[in-house]
Each structure stands twice: as structure tokens, then as C-alpha cells.
Amino acid sequence: MSELDVETVEEIDAPTGVDAPDYVLYGGKGGVGKTTCAAATALASARDGTATLVVSTDPAHSLSDTLGTEIPAEPARIREDLPLYAAEIDPEAAVGEGPLGMDGDLGGLEQLLGGEDANPLAGSMPGSDEAAAMRLLLQYMDDDRFERVVVDTAPTGHTLRLLELPEAMDSMLGKLLTLKDRMSGMLEGLGGMFGDDADQEEMERDLQAMREQIEQLRAVLRDPEKTDFRVVMVPEELSVMESERLLDRLEAFGIPAGTLVVNRVLQDLDSVVDAELPGDYVGPNHDDCEFCARRWSVQQDALARSQDLFRGHEVRRVPLLAEEVQGEELLEVVAACLD
């Protein structure tokens, strides 16, 4: 087997500023590099004095590792020299706090349906962890401390479940009201055995509040002047297919995805970024390294099949780096590619 040949090329100018709206969300399949992109964008944004919050809703919580510092559950400034704030939301811990954090204990509904076994909403409500995270995210979006919010979202399936929650809320509310009407006579005859009107009204208000807050989030996501939903992928066939599905679903919800980020491309950094490169940067050698050449051929095939996917979007390529992207220096390299 041929050794992996590399070329040494030479210090990237730390990017300042980000050409992006107030909210930047990175989405896509798990493991494609959303956290890296979010951290890099937030760091670059904060460099020009823009108060920036980077927040992760991914239960994996790799933001701390990427930024090289402990990230709290609540937004806190993590750099003294830059207005950079960060938070890693723990969806499970957030469940149960407020309307968007309901844990499935819907008060009188469980009694109304005849106990936990009869209640389809008993236990953790579908999407409740994402809903709890989004409740906090909405709070951060309205926080005057931050001029820009950069979000490392959960993997694609979780994100789509979140976007579908308003329809689920409509269904829940409709079923609840219908059931209440049908059983109102029975409830009167049985006294307060199944909960009183006040309990049921509070439950309805919670569900309605949850729906309205998620609708508020969707309104923000649908406004391209406020939000850029950036889909991250890698140049592999499965990732391309996953990205196509995500873009289709986002389009169905009226959420524009302005940018596609192709991460871990086996290209020289200097072919992507017009800037001085780090002195210890090493890139692939397609001429003398058989592994590099074959892998690049596979990636080129995937990129060629992605042309329809790319059409109408800003496309950013981030080369595969020899080292794991952790710490400020390599995040600056990624930010330069995303700028």
C-alpha cells in the first residue's frame, strides 16, 4: 500500500466578520461536521465585535471539544477578548420546564382517558426533547445580549420532527377538544373524579402555547432576511441523498436553505481559500498517493451527481484536514472556507 503523501504549504489570516443574517443554523445528517461549521462561524462572527451566541441542540455535545473549553447549559461568555457566548442545551433536562418542555404528564387528560395505559400521550411526548430545546432557543433569539445566534442543530431526523410539531399540536388540540365535548356529560355525573374544568383548561393553554411558540420559530426560519439554514454534507452518495431529502422537506415547510456546505473534500486548501495557509498545513497528493487519487475519484463522482442539488444555492467547500478540527487555529481555517 502506498504511503499517504502530503505537501506542506504555508498562515491563514484569521477571518473577521460573517456575511450572514442574524440567525445561522447548520443542519444535516449526524457526523457531517455541523458542530465544526457552527463553531467556526460563531468565532469569525465574534471577531468583528458582533456579540454572537453559538448554541448546540445536539445531545452528543461536541461543541465543548471543538471550542476547547467547557460550555455551560445556559449562555455564558467563553472568551474575554471576544464577545463570544456559548451554550449546550440538554434536551432531557429542559423537558418539563414550561409549555415547550412538557414531559407528557398532561394532567387531566391521562385521567380522562382512563389511566396511563389508555393515554397515547403518556410518557415522553414525541418530539418533547426537541421542543424543550427549541423553547430555550426561542428565548435566546429574543435575548438582547446577542446580535447573532449560530445553531448546531440535532441530526436531520430530530430537526424534521421539530418542524412537524405544530401540526402535531393541532391534532392534539383537536382530539382534546372533541374528547372533552363528548365526555362533558359523563364528567358532570362523576363529579371531579377525572379532574376539574380548570385542570383541562390549563392543559389546553399549555398545548396552545407550545404550538404558538413553535410557529414563532418556524416564522423566523422562513424569513431569509433573518435566517440562513445551511445544509452540511460530505461528498458521498448517502450524504447527497440525505441532503436532497432534507432540502425537499425544508422546501415543503417553506424554509429556504441558502447555503450548502460540502465538508471533508479531498482537495488542497489553497484551491478553496484565497489566503495564506498555516505553516504546518498538509494537503493530499493526488499524483503520487494511490489512496488519495482513488478517494478523490469517489468524491468527484458524488459531487458530479450533486449538480442538481447545488443549483440555486451558495456552495461552500471545506477540505478534509489532516488533523481533527479542535481549537482556534483550525476553526479559523474552516471559517475562511465558509466565508
User: What mean pLDDT comes out for the span 190-201?
Assistant: 58
Instruction: Please tell me whether residue 23 adopts helix, strand or coil conformation.
Output: strand
Q: For residue 233, what are the β-bridge partners?
A: 262
Q: What integer is the mean pLDDT of 165-192?
A: 62
Helix, strand, coil percentages, rounded to 5, for the chain: 45, 15, 40
pLDDT at 179 over 70: no
Local confidence band at 323 (pLDDT 50, 70, 90 cut-offs): confident
Positive or negative: CA dihedral 133, 25, 60, 339: negative
Judged by average pLDDT, the poorest of 77-86, 259-268, 278-287 is: 278-287
Q: Are strands 52-56 and 148-152 parallel, antiparallel or unpaired?
A: parallel
Mean pLDDT for 165-187 is 64
Q: Could you tell me the sign of the dihedral formed by the alpha carbons of 123, 125, 128, 129, in that order?
A: positive
Average per-residue pLDDT in the chain? 76
Which pLDDT belongs to residue 235? Answer: 94
Hey, how many other C-beta atoms are within 10 angstroms of the C-beta on 152?
Answer: 28
How far apart CA 251 and CA 231 sit, in angstroms, is: 12
What is the percent of the chain where pLDDT is above 70? 65
244 burial level (CB within 10 Å; 0-12, 13-18, 19+):
middle
Lowest mean pLDDT among 64-68, 113-117, 204-208, 245-249: 113-117
Task: Indicate yes or no: pTM above 0.85.
Answer: no
How far is it, in rounded angstroms, from Cα 152 to Cα 331? 15
What are 244's three cell numbers?
436532497
Select, from the ranges 90-94, 198-202, 324-328, the one with the highest average predicted confidence (pLDDT). Answer: 324-328
Give the type of residue at 294. Answer: R
**Does residue 121 surpass a pLDDT of 80?**
no
pLDDT band for position 19 (cuts 50, 70, 90): confident
| Tens-digit pLDDT profile for residues 132-168 | 666 677 788 888 999 999 998 866 666 666 667 666 6
| 3-class secondary-structure state, position 131 | helix
CB 29 within 8 A of CB 315: no
Per-position DSSP letters for 282-315, written without gaps between them? EEE-TTT-HHHHHHHHHHHHHHHTTHHHHTTSEE
Section 26-35 average pLDDT: 89
**What does the pLDDT average to over 250-278?**
83
Domains and CATH numbers, the chain: 22-265 (3.40.50.300)
DSSP letter assigned to residue 75: -
295-319 pLDDT per residue, tens: 899 999 999 988 888 888 889 999 9
User: DSSP letter at 260?
Assistant: E
Lowest model confidence (mean pLDDT) among 10-14, 73-77, 229-233, 269-273: 10-14
| Digit-coded pLDDT (tens) for 33-89 | 999 999 999 999 999 899 999 998 777 778 998 998 999 989 999 999 999 999 998
**DSSP 8-state class, residue 140:** H
Mean pLDDT of the region 239-245: 91
Q: What is the pLDDT of residue 8?
A: 38
Q: Are 267 and 337 in contact (CB under 8 A)?
A: no
Q: What is the pLDDT of residues 197-231, one digit of tens each?
A: 666 677 777 777 777 777 787 788 889 999 899 99
Residue 48 has a pLDDT of 87
